[in-house]
Amino acid sequence: MRRDDQDAMVRITSAGGRVQADDEVRRPGRGGYLHRSAECLARFERSRIKEFRSLRRKIGLDERRDLTERIRSRLATTAQLE
């Protein structure tokens, strides 16, 4: 199985108790990646998995919804949503 390029994905980080999109890919802390596709963001949002493994942190439903909405709005303004 081939891994996707990180350039084609959105990096999210967990630092200071918050999960945020890392647009510059420079924020400190643990990081994870999501595809830029609406399908992947929706799947992440409604996932029943409580812990995001790469962040080593639990992410609640409200926090996932807030994060995906912020990512969608940023990608829509830059026309990068697939």
pLDDT tens string 9-25: 999 998 888 889 998 88
Q: Rounded to whole angstroms, how far apart are CA atoms 9 and 12?
A: 10
Whole-angstrom distance, CA of residue 27 vs CA of residue 19: 11
pLDDT band at 69 (very low <50, low <70, confident <90, very high): very high
Structure tokens at 73: 């709005």
Give the model's pLDDT for residue 1.
53
29-61: pLDDT as tens digits = 888 999 989 999 999 998 888 788 888 888 989
CA distance 73 to 75: 6
pTM score: 0.80
Q: Confidence band (pLDDT; 50, 70, 90) for 82?
A: low
